[in-house]
Amino acid sequence: MIELSDIQAAAKRLSQVSVRTPLLRSAELNEIAGGTVLLKPECLQVTGTFKIRGAYNFMSQLSPEQASKGVVAWSSGNHAQGVARAGSLLGIKTIIVMPEDAPKVKIERTKRFGGEVVLYDRYGGDREAIARQVAAERGAAVVPSYDHKDIIAGQGTVGLEIIEQCRELGLSPDQVLLCCGGGGLSSGSAIAIKALSPATSVHTVEPEQFDDTARSLREGVRRSNPKTARSICDALQAETPGEMTFAIIQKLAGEGLVVSDEEVKAAMRFAFRHLKLVVEPGGAAALAAVLTGKIDCKDKTMVAVLTGGNVDPGLFSAIQNEPSTKIDDLW
């Protein structure tokens, strides 16, 4: 249903909108991993996350009539900012349903980009139901977080850029690690990566209590997370993989990887102290997998995507100032 050509078309639409984030190297990270590690910092992307790619690709293809009625989305914060920013660029009114405990920086920036925010209780409300009710009342289009071909194609431009940039460096990646929530980034990037570099393996990385994709891959069917699940990675708290996204990931990706919140926090400290990058918890999962040896990196070339940098200053400071743990002592 989604092909490389769809992702290439999305890249053209995004050419004057999104940033072609670089691939960064770190001698210290290479030494820890025992191979060549390249980091793609989508934390430096417009709105601080890759989400602008899918949101703009979707919204730029709405008909004038659809656009005139506005759009509605639901998000823990990163998709919200992408939708709001795309709306401001395209002149489309945006309404986003967000959890009331979302990081304040994400709520404030969504509003700053022109989005109207509707808050709900993350653990007691149904964000999708709320959003669809608002959309029905206003006749607005719904912008899905991940399970739509145009969202997947837009997010897939990350994978497209990875292969193009590796070729420019004269490298062929053995594996690519992607932080995974609903699977839009992972599925879209997998399509581009496997089309252009079939030998490259693609792996999702999730928080240990929101490991629905990893479990679904092992068991061959979509699995959900328990209602009691909690994680510091607010950006990766999907209940279950998307229907479209999982079908793609199941076909094209390898084993799903899982990291703990403590490993994520240690990766955030490493990124700030050694790479001078601000990465949010959900954006640090792939780096955490590299640092803690969740996958064999020895004598291999790999890419890990830092998917976002939208973290409240207070939380970021608290994590940076935590006493060193056994994980930090590994490096």
DSSP letter at 308? B
Q: Check whether residue 282 and residue 238 sit in a common domain.
A: yes
- Are 160 and 267 members of one domain? yes
Kindly give the residue spans of alpha helices, DSSP state H, lying in 224-260.
243-252
Phi-psi region of 70 (alpha: psi -120 to 50; beta: other; left: phi over 0): left
User: How many other β-carbons are positioned within 10 Å of the β-carbon of residue 195?
Assistant: 18
Whether 57 and 73 map to the same domain: the answer is yes
Domains identified in the chain, total number: 2
Query: Is the domain of 208 the same as that of 292?
Result: yes
> Residue 122 has which token pair?
């993350």
For residues 76 and 97, is the Cβ–Cβ distance under 8 A? no
- The domain boundary, picked from 146, 173, 190, lies at 146
Q: Tokens 């959890």, residue?
A: 99
68 and 206, same domain (yes or no): no
Instruction: State the DSSP code for 311.
Output: -
Query: In the sheet where 36-41 sits, what is the strand order?
Result: 24-25, 36-41, 301-306, 175-179, 201-207, 257-259
Domain identity same for 302 and 201: yes
CA 14 centroid distance within chain = 17
Each residue's pLDDT expressed in tens, for the chain with a length of 331 residues = 899 999 999 999 999 999 999 999 999 999 999 999 999 999 999 999 999 999 999 999 999 999 999 999 999 899 999 999 999 999 999 999 999 998 999 999 999 999 999 999 888 888 889 999 999 999 999 999 999 999 999 999 999 999 999 999 999 999 999 999 999 999 999 999 999 999 999 999 999 999 999 999 999 999 999 989 999 999 999 999 999 999 999 999 999 999 999 999 999 999 999 999 999 999 999 999 999 999 999 999 999 999 999 999 999 999 999 988 878 887 7
Q: Do residues 308 and 217 share a domain? A: yes
Q: End of a domain among 127, 146, 165?
A: 146
Parent domain of 122: 51-146
Are 194 and 221 within one domain? yes
Q: Which DSSP category does 140 fall into? A: P
Which one of 120, 146, 172 terminates a domain? Answer: 146
Structure pTM?
0.95
Q: What is the CATH number of the domain that holds 73?
A: 3.40.50.1100
